[in-house]
Amino acid sequence: MMRQVITAMNRKLLRDLWNIKGQLVAIIFVMASGIMSFVLSFGVIDSLELGRDVYYDRYEFADVWASAKRVPEGVKEQIAEINGVAQIETRVTFGATVQVEGMDVPATGRILSYPDEREPLLDKLYLKSGRLLNPDEEDAILASEAFVVAHQFTLGDHIDMVVNGKKRSLKIVGIVLSPEYVYSLGPGALFPDDKRFGVFWMSRRALEAAVNMDGAFNNVALRLSRDANVEDVKEKLDRILKPYGGLISFDRSEQMSNWYVENELTQLKTTGTITPIIFLCVAAFLVNVVMTRQVATQRVQIGMLKAVGYSNAELAAHYLKMVMVVVVIGSFLGLAGGVWLGSGLLNIYSQFFRFPYLHYTYSVDIMILSVGFCAAAATAGTWIAMKQAADLPPAEAMRPEAPTEFKETILERLDIDKFFSFLSRIVLRQLERRPIRAFLSAVGVGFALAILVFANSMTDSMNYMMDVQYNIGNRETVLLGFVEPRGISALEEIKLMPGVMKVEPLRDIPVLLKHGHLSKRTGISGIRPDPDLHRVLDQSLKPVDVSGGGLVMSRKLAELLGAKVGDMVDVDVLEERRPQLSLPISAIYDEFMGIGAYMDIDRLNSLLNEGPVVTGAALQTDPNWNGPLYQNIKDVPAIISMAIMVRMREIFEQIMDENMMRMMAVYIVFAGVIAFGVIYNTARIAFSERSRELAALRVLGLTKGEVAYILFGELGFVVMVAIPMGLFIGYGLCAGMVAALDTELFRMPLYIKNDTYAYAVIVVLVSALISFYLVWRQVDKIDLVAAQKGVE
């Protein structure tokens, strides 16, 4: 018979669990959400890192690269002799203009050589579809997947390109991925724009012929042996290439695509580590509080069971089983959900990080950690409550809780109690007698609110950052870049183009900044001291002042160089004549994006011994003339890049949406689940703690409404206290996150919109109302007769 199999204690367990099923479901979801966000985030991050490592490894991602004007192939032997060089691949690479029908803005392309008769030794290609190139194959190219996808090209399509002044129609025979171009950033672009920039590969000999590079190369990639001294190799390589117009070599940390991948992963890791840790801690805290109170409601039963001969160990086992049910179901849902959502999210990320191998990694240690953490919190909560009840002499535990010492409430002491109704006074007295319980409830609800604020604030900060960057700071609508420096008179021509209202000169030079043993490749932008359009703002939205004559740099760049105001910085200009300058830092400013350095344009030009030249222009235009203007610009061969600010912002938003915000969206849902779970549980437990008392009041003649007022008055007060507390905690969590999110790509401003606060408060209030309604239905069901019989 079943009876022999299931002991009376286990039957009690099952029925008790069934009686509080609503609360259990809520707490299980809270716990599962915590575990899910943890498993999901770490799974995705681990998988991405693994995907990157495998990709770089299998496709021989190089360690060092360098470009030059034209280097005879024979120089390769000299490079091979550098100590530490394990593998060399020389390449020819050339810029091209890509003409795509229907595009109002020209696209640019980079063509790299593909060795004839063999595979590349370094930076190999992953063939996504089609085929690789045949030796000497002319008019055929391999295209990067991103560009192909952005333009919805297919294999066999022809692309028109202007290479070295000659227009050619090239057929796409293969679609490929390269570890060198996981992200492809066009010249002057801050973000990858797959529509506007593509990477292509062409037969080496065919390309050599097209750009007059027979028997020569202009780009080299190196793989180093494990014990190589990277700096040493770079220095020697630079020395060898210098006579051939070599530009400073760089390693992985400065390689554009890799830098971008690293920055994106850092962002994801920061949000994806901090957020789930916060969630898991909040969930664990809440599970702890709820289990404590759940067990505390069984105090009388614990006393009785002890009195009739159950030992502490047997009782502990009984209540731990209750925890185990929560832990096991919560963990199962959390782990299964985490893996499921994680692999789904990874799938989405695979379109963003173009790694050929991306599989969801089951990080068992993360799973064990998250489950163990929640289980420990739940167990500790149960254990403490159990111990409190079990440590009491059974005789005392069985008595309904002793009436607490009567004290005049603060209202009575202040003699303002007469302003409150009889019922309100009951509510206040209850609160004052059990301040810790009320406080813990408020903390629980407060945390729920805080994570709602937190989850939404990231979007606010991001939008604010973009507003500063694209609307408040940069007031230009179009940013142009020239192929090479041009006289200032070029701006006069541009001013005459249709729709152009204002033009401002810009002078950008690529540089290597050195301070002590630290160095950083970046650019110096020459701007006007009092710009109307291209303004650089610091975090307090003040325009940066470049009139000091020296360099003005972002705090992040100064940090990377270990420099402060007044320090001299060595500047290697990475252009034509490669002059070397020494410049003082005249100011450091806090900025949100990039690692910029600025100077007065006139001062920069005179330092370079050049007349008034520009490399770009900031334009304010009339949007009604966009079409004709873009057409005009497209026809000027000297203009290599054109950034439309509206489009830039779109791209940046899209990148953020695709990357960080995706995870945030998942977190927002979890935060909602946790908030509701906590509030419902708080209300439900308050009800079971009070049910007997409320029944007695009903018997004394209070209406259901009045009884509900007492219960909900107390809960309402808790929620009211929780709201400001939660807003405060939420602000703190955001501040912590913003401080942690500090990449070279951007620093997040701490900016929380009132809408975000309002949203969190509304979710909490709606959760409270729904919970109250659900509990109200219980109040409705209070059985007065049963209550009087002393049955709980």
The footprint of another protein (CB under 8 A) covers 3, 7-9, 11-12, 15-16, 19, 300-301, 303-312, 314, 393-396, 398, 783, 786, 789-792
- Give the strand pairing for 140-144 and 166-177: parallel
> Residue 518, SS3?
strand
Count of H helices and E strands in the chain? 24, 20
Complex with another protein: residue 472 or 786, whichever CB lies closer: 786
Structure tokens at 646: 């509206």
Rounded CA separation 36/23 (Å): 19
Positive or negative: CA dihedral 9, 14, 20, 25: positive
Complex with another protein: residue 631 or 788, whichever CB lies closer: 788
Complex with another protein: residue 364 or 791, whichever CB lies closer: 791
Rounded CA separation 278/223 (Å): 41
Quote the least distance from Cβ 677 to another protein, whole Å. Answer: 24
Quote the least distance from Cβ 17 to another protein, whole Å. Answer: 9
Rounded CA separation 39/723 (Å): 29
Quote the least distance from Cβ 51 to another protein, whole Å. Answer: 52
Quote the least distance from Cβ 406 to another protein, whole Å. Answer: 13
Quote the least distance from Cβ 395 to another protein, whole Å. Answer: 4
Complex with another protein: residue 566 or 790, whichever CB lies closer: 790
Complex with another protein: residue 12 or 486, whichever CB lies closer: 12
Quote the least distance from Cβ 417 to another protein, whole Å. Answer: 27
Confirm if 595 and 554 have CB atoms less than 8 A apart: yes
Give the contacts of 150 (CB within 8 A, at least 6 positions apart): 194, 195, 198
Quote the least distance from Cβ 19 to another protein, whole Å. Answer: 6
Please report where in the chains the tokens 């367990």 appear, as a residue. Answer: 13
SS (H, E, C) 340-357: HHHHHHHHHHCCCCCCCC
Quote the least distance from Cβ 775 to another protein, whole Å. Answer: 19
Assign residue 541 a region (left: φ > 0; alpha: ψ between -120 and 50; beta: otherwise). left
Please report where in the chains the tokens 């402060």 appear, as a residue. Answer: 564
Quote the least distance from Cβ 306 to another protein, whole Å. Answer: 7
Assign residue 354 a region (left: φ > 0; alpha: ψ between -120 and 50; beta: otherwise). beta
Quote the least distance from Cβ 770 to another protein, whole Å. Answer: 27
Quote the least distance from Cβ 706 to another protein, whole Å. Answer: 25
User: Which of 164-186 are b and which e, b meaning 16 or more Cβ less than 10 Å from the residue's Cβ?
Assistant: eeeebebebbbbbbbbbbbbbbb
Please report where in the chains the tokens 């909560």 appear, as a residue. Answer: 381
Q: Residue 363 — φ and ψ, nearest 5°?
A: -90, 100
Complex with another protein: residue 15 or 166, whichever CB lies closer: 15
- Give the strand pairing for 568-573 and 500-515: antiparallel
Q: What share of the chain is helix, strand, coil (3-state, %, to 5)?
A: 55, 20, 25
> Residue 185, SS3?
coil
Confirm if 579 and 483 have CB atoms less than 8 A apart: no
Quote the least distance from Cβ 681 to another protein, whole Å. Answer: 20
Give Cα separations from 38 to 118, 161, 335, 741 (angstroms): 46, 48, 9, 18
Complex with another protein: residue 307 or 328, whichever CB lies closer: 307
Complex with another protein: residue 83 or 311, whichever CB lies closer: 311
Quote the least distance from Cβ 777 to another protein, whole Å. Answer: 19
Rounded CA separation 299/307 (Å): 12
Complex with another protein: residue 311 or 347, whichever CB lies closer: 311
Rounded CA separation 616/634 (Å): 15
Complex with another protein: residue 132 or 300, whichever CB lies closer: 300
Going by C-alpha positions, the residue among 488, 462, 501 that lies closest to residue 605 is 488
Quote the least distance from Cβ 33 to another protein, whole Å. Answer: 29
Complex with another protein: residue 13 or 333, whichever CB lies closer: 13
Quote the least distance from Cβ 299 to another protein, whole Å. Answer: 12
| Count of C-beta atoms within a 10 Å radius of residue 127 | 14
Give the orientation angle of helix 8-19 with respect to helix 21-58, to 10 degrees. 80
Complex with another protein: residue 86 or 395, whichever CB lies closer: 395
Please report where in the chains the tokens 């990874």 appear, as a residue. Answer: 346
DSSP character for 188?
A: T
User: Which of 650-678 are b and which e, b meaning 16 or more Cβ less than 10 Å from the residue's Cβ?
Assistant: ebbeebbeebbbbbbebbbebbbbbbbbb
Going by C-alpha positions, the residue among 659, 45, 144, 42 that lies closest to residue 352 is 659
Quote the least distance from Cβ 685 to another protein, whole Å. Answer: 17
Complex with another protein: residue 233 or 390, whichever CB lies closer: 390
Quote the least distance from Cβ 304 to another protein, whole Å. Answer: 4
Complex with another protein: residue 204 or 306, whichever CB lies closer: 306
Complex with another protein: residue 313 or 436, whichever CB lies closer: 313
Rounded CA separation 259/589 (Å): 23
Give Cα separations from 126 to 178, 262, 276, 294 (angstroms): 6, 21, 34, 58
Rounded CA separation 469/592 (Å): 8
- 163's enclosing H/E stretch is strand 158-163
Complex with another protein: residue 236 or 690, whichever CB lies closer: 690
Complex with another protein: residue 2 or 414, whichever CB lies closer: 2
Quote the least distance from Cβ 405 to another protein, whole Å. Answer: 10
Rounded CA separation 718/689 (Å): 15
Give the contacts of 296 (CB within 8 A, at least 6 positions apart): 385, 388, 389, 689
Q: Let me know how long the chain is.
A: 792
Complex with another protein: residue 91 or 293, whichever CB lies closer: 293
Confirm if 83 and 116 have CB atoms less than 8 A apart: no
Structure tokens at 239: 């020395």
